[in-house]
Amino acid sequence: MGSKDVLEQALKLKPDERFMVVEGLIKSLDEPDSSLDAIWADEAEKRLRAYRAGKLEGIPMEEIFKEE
């Protein structure tokens, strides 16, 4: 069954049942992904090493959040 078929079947459900399907799908997208966490942690370490080695400049927080 393809996604188009799933959608057609879901649209035949009662509103409260459709809500349950949508809520379940959204929750499944919000689950943490440990492999992504590891990739971001590695990137953060690389950037910190580059900053400490003088290969990367920092930007003051005030400059980042200043309103224009």
Verify that 52 and 42 share a domain, yes or no: yes
Cα 49 to its chain centre, rounded Å, is 25
Q: What is the pTM for the complete model shown?
A: 0.49
Could you list the residue range(s) of the whole structural domain that residue 8 is in?
1-31
Taking CA 64 as the corner, what is the angle to CA 59 and CA 65, rounded to the nearest 5 degrees? 145
**C-alpha closest to that of 18 among 30, 6, 29, 28:** 6
Verify that 38 and 27 share a domain, yes or no: no
Domain count, the chain: 2
In this structure, which amino acid lies at residue 47? Answer: R
**First-to-final CA distance of the chain:** 51
Grade residue 19 by pLDDT with cuts at 50, 70 and 90: very high
How do residues 26-55 score in pLDDT, each as one tens digit? 998 887 888 888 999 999 999 999 999 999
List the beta strands (DSSP E) in 1-68.
Answer: none
Task: Tell me how far apart the alpha carbons of residues 30 and 61 are, in angstroms, rounded to a whole number.
Answer: 29
Verify that 45 and 57 share a domain, yes or no: yes
Verify that 26 and 13 share a domain, yes or no: yes
